């Protein structure tokens, strides 16, 4: 079976994306689909995920974790990758 990589594809406001057959792409993970469609990814965990070519341009990824994630060819332009201050 031939698997194609989705590279920097914009899914903003896409409807029924949950009905696609994701194969081995980043669309397998519901959290990724949520961010792609809504642009909201506050406090999500993408540790060790294969996110090659994902388009998180302009997404709210405050406090999201990407430890060990493969972000090669990903688009994070204008994404908010800041951390919320922790109470001491």
Residue 41 belongs to some domain of the structure = yes
Rounded CA-CA distance 18/62 in Å is 24
Per-residue pLDDT at 84 exceeds 80: yes
In whole angstroms, give the CA distance from residue 88 to residue 41: 24
Band of residue 1 on the pLDDT scale cut at 50, 70, 90: very low
Task: Provide the number of structural domains found in the chain.
Answer: 1
**Residue 88 within any structural domain of the chain:** no
3: in domain:
yes
Identify the pLDDT of residue 9. Answer: 67
Range of the domain at 57: 1-15+22-83
Contact 11, 37 (CB under 8 A): yes
Rounded to the nearest angstrom, the gap between the alpha carbon of residue 40 and the centroid of all alpha carbons in its chain is: 10
pLDDT of residue 21: 67
The per-residue pLDDT for range 17-69, each reduced to its tens digit, is 676 666 778 788 889 989 998 999 999 999 999 999 999 999 999 999 999 99
Contacts within 8 Å (CB) and 24+ apart, 47-51: 50/26, 51/26
């Amino acid at each position: 079976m031939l698997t194609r990589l989705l590279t920097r594809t914009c899914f903003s406001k896409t409807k029924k994306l949950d009905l696609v057959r994701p194969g081995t792409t980043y669309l397998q993970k519901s959290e990724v689909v949520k961010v792609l469609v809504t642009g909201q990814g506050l406090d999500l965990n993408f540790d060790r995920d294969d996110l090659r070519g994902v388009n998180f341009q302009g997404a709210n990824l405050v406090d999201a974790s990407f430890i060990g994630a493969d972000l090669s060819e990903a688009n994070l332009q204008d994404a908010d990758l800041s951390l919320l201050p922790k109470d001491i």
